[in-house]
Every structure is written in C-alpha cells, then in structure tokens.
A and B are shown apart, each in its own frame.
Chain A
Amino acid sequence: MIKDYFKLSLKTLAHRKLRSWLTMIGIFIGIAAVVALVSLGEGLRSAINAQFGFLGTDVLAVMASGGLGIPGIGTVNPLTDNELDAIKEIPGVKGAAGRIQESVKLVFNKKATFSYAISIPDGDDRKVIEHVFNMNAQKGRLLKDGDKKVVFLGSMFFEEGNAFGKAVVPGSKVEIQGREFKVIGIMEKKGNARIDSAVFMNEDDLRNLVDRPKGEYDVIGVRFDENADVNKIKEDIEKNLRKIRDVKEGEEDFSVQTPAQILARVNDVLRGVQIFVYIIAAISILVGGIGIMNTMYTAVVERTKDVGIMKAIGAKNSSIFLLFFVESGLLGSAGGIMGSIFGFLTATGLAFVGRLALGTSMISAHITFQLIIGSILFAFIVGSFFGTLPAVRASKLNPVDAIRKIK
C-alpha cells in the first residue's frame, strides 16, 4: 500500500523536475557539507590519533623549551643529567631516558633528503626509549650497546618510492651529515610520519655527528607504573624541574606532556570545529526544509484539483495526507542521497588534492556507513517534518470546494 504512495509521489516529483531539483538544493548543500566536512574531520582525527596513538599510555615526555613542534629542534635551554636523575627518583617512575634530536641530511642512491635523528642511550635507559617508541624491527635488528656507525631507520626508508627512489635495506650504507653509516634494521610502520621517517642511532654516534656535549638532552622520555597517577607524577616532575631550573610556576622553559593530553587537546579543537560545521549544516538543512515546506504549500494550492478528484474517487483524508507527506519526505531524502554522494566525492577529492599538495597522509576522508545512512535518514525526516503542515492542509480540503475550484 505505502509502496503505491511512493510510486505516485515519485511520478509527481518527476513530473515537476525543475521545481523538485530546486527544492532539493537546500537539503543537498546541507547534507553534502555534513558528509564532506565530518568525514574530513574524522579522517583528520583518526590520522592524529594514529600519530600519537602508537605511544603507550604509561609514558610521558619532558621537553625542553616546551611546545608541540618537533621537540629538540632549536632547544635553547636543554635538559640535563641532574634533571634526569631527579625524575628517576620520583615515586611511580619506572625509568627515564634522555635523548637528543637533531635535523640531519641523508644521502643514499645519490639522492639527498632531510630527516631527524634520535639518540638512544646505552644500558637500562635503552629499554625505556624502546618502550616509549614501542620499537620493533621489521627487518634486521634493533640497536644495541656498543654498536658504532650503524643506524636503525623508520619504515619509510624501506618503502619503494621513498625520497631516495630506492628502498633502503639492512646492510645498505647511507651517508648522514657527510659520514657513512650502515643500516642495521628497519622499524615497524607506526603510521606516524615523523617516527616513520626518523633515524635512530646510539647516543655517542649522534653526539659526535652533531657536536652536542654529553649530559644535555632535548627530551626525557619517562615510563611510569601503569597504576600510578599520571597527574601526580606530572606535578612532581614539574615541581622538581622548576626547582632545579630555578623558574617560577607559569614561566617554565620546559613542558611535561602525556600522549593522552595531546590527543585530548587536539580532539577538543576538532570537536569544536565539528560542532561549528554541524551548526552551519543545520542552518542550511533548516533553510532547505523551509524550501520544501514552501514547495509543498504551492503544490497543495496547485493540486487542489487533483486532491478533489482523488477524494471524489475514494481517497480518504489519511490517503491524501500520506501522499503529500511521502512526497516531501522523498524530496528530503533525494536531496540527502545526492548530498551524500556529492559530499563523499568532495571529501575524497579534497583529501586526494590535499595529500598531493601538502605531501602528508594526515589528510584523509573517513566516511562511515553510519554517516551516510544517518544523513539520508535525517534528510527524510526533515523533508517529512516540513511537509507535515502542507499535507494536513491538503488532507483537510473539502472535496466539493476542491472540485468547484476547477469549474
């Protein structure tokens, strides 16, 4: 029965093509905006989560000079052994290891690229760094104490189509800052562009290479007891470091950040952006809905004749209501379906262009089945909702008046 009403409504909409298209535009734009922007936002969110998510929940980082930028680059007041020792003494801390990080030039296959090198200390501290980066070798092996002139590379160097135009494999020789190093292993892919393109080497090698004195660090990686209170540990570290570095609260030249904190901050910003997008899209959909209402009121006036005829041949008020209600719902959902398709294509296209232009995998469209179905359903509901009043008006038309109108 309801199928027949859908068929009748479709015929009517097809009969008034131009008007149907124009009416659908409002909903179309709103839904396209929702699908495109939400999926890009979700893509960005999951990319960011991938960037930080590989880090364990039981680690935090103490950074000199603070900030979210690449740690270590341009550090003016580095961390020291004193601070490292103080952190190791804090209750709940299982281990801590300092590292330096420097931008370096790599040459392989006669092609050069820039990356950044991370130092790994000897002894027990090595385990801390390996844990912090959740470091495993997909090829070759990890670095070990006593290794000299060898490097452990991020997974990107192993991929075909890297900056060198040739995959680097264990045993390959690469030139770093003019000196030759042997590749000992390749790290598992982490999904984080910075880590996947990093060069790990033993601390002595890196210090010699970039001429950094012993006992100073850019970052101290801390591993703590999983049951410990991360906020308490963070506060203790900050208190200790303020004392050692002689800085007042609020004027720190270092920062203590946990992956969870970074994620939460980024997600907060993204959520704010998404709410903004939802509001804009909601306004567009509302305007689209009012457009549907306007069209349906016009349709009721124009089709008073048809309503009169249908009532004369046995249509009940409820049948007439259903006919107009389904029609406006269809206008909404057709706008929704097309908006979803357009939004999908826009998001995918923008993500593709973004990746090409910026060369980062951070830009991707994360389009879910729920988002598409939800959008279409929402569009149908908006269409039906705004079609209700015109449908009621149509259903209440007096058959005689409706037929008289034609004479």
Chain B
Amino acid sequence: MKFKKIIELVNVWKTYQVGAVEVNALRGINFSVKKGEFVAIQGPSGSGKSTAMHLIGCLDLPTKGKVYLEGKDISCMSESLLAQIRGKKVGFVFQQFNLIQNLTALENVALPMIFQGVNEKERIKKARNLLELVELGDRVNHYPNQLSGGEQQRVAIARALANDPDIILADEPTGNLDSKAGKEIIDILFTLHKKEKKTIVMVTHDNRLAKYAHRIVHIKDGKVIRGE
C-alpha cells in the first residue's frame, strides 16, 4: 500500500560523466521501503548500491526517474531543501565512521542538531543520552582517535539518531570492524529497528548481517535483480 511506503524509487537512472564517457550507475531501478522495515541492499562492487543509497538519503538527485520520500518527490528539490530533509529525516552511518576528528564524541553527536538550530543546552543533554544509549556514556569527551573502531561507529550511530530521524541509512557499517565489534553494531541497529521502530536500509557484503533484515534487495549492473 502506497501510504506505508517511506521510500520509493521509480525507474531511477543515475548517469555519471567520467571524462568523455558516460557511466550508468543505475539503470531504471525500482524499489521501495516500507515504514519500519529493515532492508539490506546487496550486490557486487560497482553494482550501484551506494549510488542508490545516496539517492535514498537525499544526498544526490537522479538523472532520470523519481525518488519519493514519505510520498514527496524529492527529485527536483533544491540543495537547501534536500539538506533540511537529510538533517531531519535521515541518519547516516558510514563504513569509515566519518567522525569530525577535531570534535569530541559529544560534539560529534551534537553537530547535526546545530544545523537544525537546536539550542546548546538541549543539544548537550540529548547527545549525552544518545551516547549512553550506545554505551559510551563514559567516553563523551574522547576524540575519535582516542576511540576504537567499534566505539567510533557507535558514536556515528548516536550521531545518526541526533535529530530523531525515521530512516537510518547504513553503508557497510561493519566493513571496517572486527567480527565482535561488528556484531555489537548490528545488535544496536537491530535494537533501534525493534524498539524505536526505525526504518533501516543497510548496504552490506556480509551475508550473515543481511540475515537480520526483513528483506534483501540484490542489485547488479545498476538494476534490482531480486527483492524488489
């Protein structure tokens, strides 16, 4: 049913110009994610997984086709509007954690709230709560280089939750972690999905992680080949 769809890609094409050559990263892709769903996207390198992820996360616009977020077409929106949507609706978790190195864990988590105009007191309070949620309450003043990979990724998850988004987009969230830390991260994501009812879209190579998802979407050569 359409009203339940939180994300929908309709015949989406994404073409990059690489020198004189046009590269089609996505070739008329169709798929949707329902509110509260946990979807894994799998596919070989260069299949277009990350490109699809960027479009879902409003980081990029399609060359052709439509992208709907909560029923709204975002395909023609300005960068400023997209930034607003990203800030409020979507939380990103990257493979390489992507924390700002000169900010503490607390400041990294509070950063998205600055861009939404949340006042300092509220920001600090919420960032602390989120760090406690990912069991880093005692590491708030540590800089990223003072934290282990698993801890950094937990900070990144806390940051993704800062503005209480409906959707968490995780791009290979355990790709840079050992299996123990990876398991912890996937547990947190799974808990968020179960308890907080967050919609989670996760790109992963790892079949064991993909098993946590309700549905696995397979992409190859810029097309969905299974799980549409």
Interface residues of chain A, those whose CB is within 8 Å of chain B, are 1, 4, 8, 11-12, 14-15, 305-306, 308-319, 398-400, 403, 406-407
Contacts and interface: CB of A to CB of B under 8 A. Distances in A.
B154 to A, nearest CB: 16
Given A4-B120, A11-B103, A406-B98, A310 B115 contact: yes
A381 B79 CA distance: 29
In terms of DSSP, what is the predominant structure of the interface of chain A?
helix
B103 A315 contact: no
Contacts of B80: 316-318
Contact of B115 (A14, A313, A398, A400): A313
B79 A313 contact: no
Nearest to B112: A313
Nearest to B97: A309
B60 A316 contact: no
B59 A403 contact: yes
B133 interface: no
B77 interface: no
B96 interface: yes
A8 B111 CA distance: 9
Contacts of A316: 79-80, 83-84, 115
Interface stretch (B66-74, B85-93, B203-211): B85-93
A11 B102 contact: yes
Contacts of B163: 314
B96 A407 contact: yes
B59 A306 contact: no
Interface string B115-149: 11100100000000000000000000000000000
Interface of B: 54, 57, 59-60, 79-80, 83-84, 86-88, 91-92, 94, 96, 98-103, 107, 111-112, 114-117, 120, 159-160, 162-163
B173 to A, nearest CB: 14
Contacts of A1: 114, 117
Given A310-B115, A400-B54, A403-B59, A315 B98 contact: no
Nearest to A13: B102
B59 A315 contact: no
Contacts of A318: 80
Contact of B100 (A306, A398, A403, A406): A306
A312 B92 contact: yes
Contacts of B102: 11-12, 14-15
B86 A313 contact: yes
A101 B21 CA distance: 96
A314 B84 contact: yes
B83 A311 contact: yes
Contacts of A315: 83, 87, 115
Given A1-B117, A309-B98, 13 more contacts: A8-B103, A309-B99, A312-B57, A314-B86, A314-B87, A314-B115, A315-B83, A317-B83, A318-B80, A399-B60, A400-B54, A400-B59, A403-B54
A308 B102 CA distance: 15
B141 to A, nearest CB: 13
B198 to A, nearest CB: 16
A310 B99 CA distance: 10
Contacts of B91: 313
A309 B116 CA distance: 15
Nearest to B81: A316
Contacts of A308: 98
Contacts of B160: 313
Contact of B59 (A12, A399, A407): A399
A310 B57 CA distance: 14
A31 to B, nearest CB: 27
Contacts of A14: 102
B86 A309 contact: no
A295 to B, nearest CB: 16
A316 B96 CA distance: 22
Contacts of A309: 98-100
6 contacts: A15-B102, A309-B99, A315-B83, A315-B115, A316-B79, A319-B83
